[in-house]
Structure 1
Amino acid sequence: MPPILQAVLLLVFPVLVIVAALRDVTSFTIPNWISGLLILAFFPAALALGLSLPQIGLHAAVGAAALVMGVIMFALRWIGGGDAKLFAAAGLWLGWPAVLPYLVYTAIAGGALALALIGLRSMWMRAFVVGGPAWMGRLATPGESVPYGVAIAVGAMAAFPGTALMRAWGGL
């Protein structure tokens, strides 16, 4: 397959992950179509880049394990359902061993996000947000949920260059 078509297939991942983060930060939801499209797009991308069936199976196993972890975190009310699905879909794309840096980067980004929201939700910062868009006001509301899809997207984007897909394409 021509490298330009491979590049287009690879672009699906960062574009959809960024869209998911933007949707989460502005609406506190990640639509199912984003995670669904990520899952559906992985298989043609993997085949076009020449990943073997065992490699694809390993990616699927990582995605399944990420789904189990996501469901557990959702059940514990640590993340939302959309976050759990995005976490799993990103795990599918990242595979082994890139899933390890993904977990670390996502945790670090989650901590940074929590600190940023604590600052934004403080009384003196909220005054600067009142005149902004409604989503910004909701983001700055104390007690409001955390758009963890942002942290998932940061972790996924940071880990993506180390994936088998990127190595198959020529890497960065």
Structure 2
Amino acid sequence: MIAQAQAVLLVICPALLIVAALKDVTTYTIPNWISLALIAAFFPTALILGLPAGVIGLHVGLGVGALIAGMVMFALGWIGGGDAKVFAASALWLGWPASATFLLVTALAGGVLAFTLLAMRSMLLRRYVSAGPAWLSRLAEPGENVPYGLAICIGGLAAYPASTLVQALTAAPPL
């Protein structure tokens, strides 16, 4: 019974990352409640999975470092404020060494996303894309933003199996 509850807690991060990506792609915003829910759910999940205080501290340090990096990227106009917050909340969940995979996959997914949007926004493809739903047509508008939350989601989902939290559940003896 406890193992099932622990497994349910581990679904929170991937589920919220997917919600963040969908919100960003369709509205160019990531609501604050998503990042706050990720942060609030991390601590009980870490404690229930039995992570030592030092490991939780490392997660917090990575989250703070990611928030600072996200704030710098926001100040430079590279990402939005919601992207910076969900980036930091994701790093909090992932820990080390999964954060390295998170950074690499997020950067690669961001590059693919940028090239895809450039193609969609070209004169050749824009007329076809604009025949779709309004949110898809908006993605094809030249000069629009990049919903980087999608890249963050892909990076987070790719790195999540290697996270300290997932590893703690799979390494725990069955109850």
2:63 equivalent in structure 1:
63
Aligned residue pairs: how many?
171
Helix, strand or coil for the counterpart of 2:96? helix
**CA separation in 2, counterparts of 1:26 and 1:133?**
10
**CA separation in 1, counterparts of 2:102 and 2:130?**
35
1:24 equivalent in structure 2:
24
Say what the alpha-carbon RMSD is for the aligned residues. 1.0
Displacement after TM superposition at 1:130 (Å): 2.2
1:78-110 residue CA offsets vs partner (Å, 9 max, x unmatched): 000000000000000001111111100100000
Structure 2: segments with no counterpart, 5+ residues: none
CA contact (8 A) 2:130 2:140 kept: no
2:122 equivalent in structure 1:
122
Q: Runs ≥4 in structure 1, deviation > 6 angstroms?
A: none
**CA separation in 2, counterparts of 1:49 and 1:64?**
22
Tell me, yes or no, if structure 1 residue 143 matches structure 2 residue 133.
Answer: no
Helix, strand or coil for the counterpart of 1:26? helix
**CA separation in 2, counterparts of 1:123 and 1:39?**
42
Percent identity of paired positions between Structure 1 and Structure 2: 58
**124-133 or 64-73: bigger deviation:** 124-133
Tell me, yes or no, if structure 1 residue 112 matches structure 2 residue 112.
Answer: yes
TM-score (norm 1): 0.97
Structure 1: segments with no counterpart, 5+ residues: none
**CA separation in 2, counterparts of 1:166 and 1:34?**
20
